[in-house]
């Protein structure tokens, strides 16, 4: 019997109230404004798998990441990790024990490190918080092991974050994430602030650590080239909704949603295959006043009257899930 997925996200939604204060609305005759950042997002992540979320800025990827890791409470839906619901129906002790096994790697390594703490203290903080080592000597030994694991020197524990390069800071962030012996890592654009050559080093390090410790990744990125290197399955987000979920190979060889195709056409064709390409046109609509029907229809070359009036439901076929009227009708 196969193991259940480690992460099960069902109907996840998050709405932000971005209205002016009540008195201003009354005096100015303005209406209440709600921003639906994430709408009805569902996916699973198998154990030791890398699942990626991709999309343009403003598509809701980071909001999903924060809800999954427990930093932001969803308006609706559930996040179940290893059988424990993060937000409701689970005992406080179970949630506390689960939090040790979940860590996050942020986009800007320098902003996520306390500039007033030495690196050794930054990495040791989760070890002390979860009681994973006893005594100063054992904590220092564990800190040195973690620094060596990510390609740094144990003596670097005495330094401050500003004494390191961007790639070294991200290695420190990875060491801090590993210090609590996690099972699941949420990686929110972990290489977007780094040079291309350093990106490759960090990605290779993350893959090696995944193989060594059996880690599960939720990988957030807008860079499809990075995602192709890391992920087994990919979810494509647009304006808060998942429009396609597919194995990485299938998505890159035959995307079934027009937005997925548009994203792939924007990736440089290093092989110079000569295949027809169409660059991304237009911008993501205002999420406070999204277009009716399929949110992508103002930019879609295949849009029909049905697309402009009806929100497409996710349809499972050929090992993938696609939310598109044209794909459901077999016209893609």
pLDDT for the residue 16: 94
What number of CA atoms fall less than 13 Å from residue 49's CA on the CB side?
Answer: 18
pLDDT of residue 91: 76
Please state, as a whole number, how many other Cβ atoms lie within 10 Å of the Cβ of residue 150: 22
pLDDT score at 318:
82
Task: Calculate mean pLDDT across residues 163-189.
Answer: 94
- pLDDT for 256 equals 92
Q: Which pLDDT band, with edges at 50, 70 and 90, does 275 fall under?
A: low
- pLDDT per residue as tens digits for the range 191-211: 887 888 888 899 999 999 999
Answer for the pair 238, 60: CB distance below 8 angstroms, yes or no: no
* pTM attached to this predicted model: 0.91
Q: What is the pLDDT of residues 230-270, one digit of tens each?
A: 999 999 999 999 999 999 999 998 899 999 988 888 776 65
User: DSSP letters of 23-58?
Assistant: HHHHHHTPPP-EEEEEEEEEEEE-TT-EEEEE-STT
Work out the pLDDT band at 229, boundaries 50, 70, 90.
confident
- Pick 182 or 330 by higher pLDDT: 182
The whole-angstrom separation of Cα 267 and Cα 251 is 13
- pLDDT value at 12 more than 90: yes
Provide the pLDDT confidence category of residue 331 given band limits of 50, 70 and 90: low
Phi and psi at residue 193, to the nearest 5°: -90, 5
Highest mean pLDDT (candidates 170-184, 189-203, 276-290, 306-320): 170-184
Under a CB-based contact definition with an 8 Å cutoff, are residues 320 and 247 in contact?
A: yes
Distance CA 204, CA 189 (A): 15
| Structural contact between residues 248 and 232, judged by C-beta atoms closer than 8 angstroms | yes
Catalogue all structural domains in the chain, each as residue range(s) with its CATH number: 7-101+182-328 (3.40.50.300), 109-181 (no CATH)
Task: Report the pLDDT averaged over residues 75-83.
Answer: 93
pLDDT 10s digits, 28-57: 888 889 999 999 999 999 999 999 999 988
Alpha helices in the chain, H assignment, sequence order: 22-28, 61-69, 92-100, 119-129, 136-149, 166-178, 196-213, 224-230, 248-253, 258-265, 305-309, 325-328
């Amino acid at each position: 019997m196969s193991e259940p997925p480690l992460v099960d996200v069902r109907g996840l939604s998050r709405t932000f109230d971005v209205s002016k204060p009540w008195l201003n609305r009354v005096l100015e005759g303005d209406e209440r404004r709600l921003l639906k950042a994430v709408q009805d997002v569902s996916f699973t992540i198998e154990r030791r798998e890398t699942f990626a979320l991709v999309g343009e800025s403003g598509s809701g990827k980071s909001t999903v990441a924060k809800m999954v890791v427990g930093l932001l409470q969803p308006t609706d839906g559930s996040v179940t990790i290893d059988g424990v619901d993060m937000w409701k129906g689970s005992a406080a002790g179970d949630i506390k024990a689960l939090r040790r096994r979940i860590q996050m790697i942020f986009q800007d390594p320098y902003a996520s490190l306390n500039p007033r703490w030495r690196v050794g203290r930054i990495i040791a903080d989760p070890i002390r918080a979860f009681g994973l080592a006893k005594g100063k000597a054992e904590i220092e030994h564990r800190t040195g092991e973690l620094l060596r694991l990510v390609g740094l020197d144990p003596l670097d524990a005495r330094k401050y974050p500003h004494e390191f390069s961007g790639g070294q800071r991200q290695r420190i962030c990875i060491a801090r994430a590993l210090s609590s012996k996690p099972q699941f890592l949420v990686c929110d654009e972990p290489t977007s602030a780094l040079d291309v050559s350093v990106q490759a080093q960090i990605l290779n390090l993350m893959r090696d650590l995944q193989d060594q410790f059996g880690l599960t990744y939720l990988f957030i990125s807008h860079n499809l080239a990075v995602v192709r290197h890391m992920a087994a399955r990919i979810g494509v987000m647009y304006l808060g909704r998942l429009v396609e979920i597919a194995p990485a190979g299938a998505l890159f060889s035959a995307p079934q949603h027009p937005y997925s195709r548009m994203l792939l056409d924007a990736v440089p064709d290093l092989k110079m295959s000569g295949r027809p390409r169409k660059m991304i046109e237009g911008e993501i609509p205002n999420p406070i006043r999204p277009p009716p029907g399929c949110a992508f229809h103002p930019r879609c070359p295949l849009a029909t009257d049905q697309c402009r009036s009806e929100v497409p439901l996710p349809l499972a076929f050929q090992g993938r899930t696609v939310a598109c009227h044209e794909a459901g009708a077999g016209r893609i």
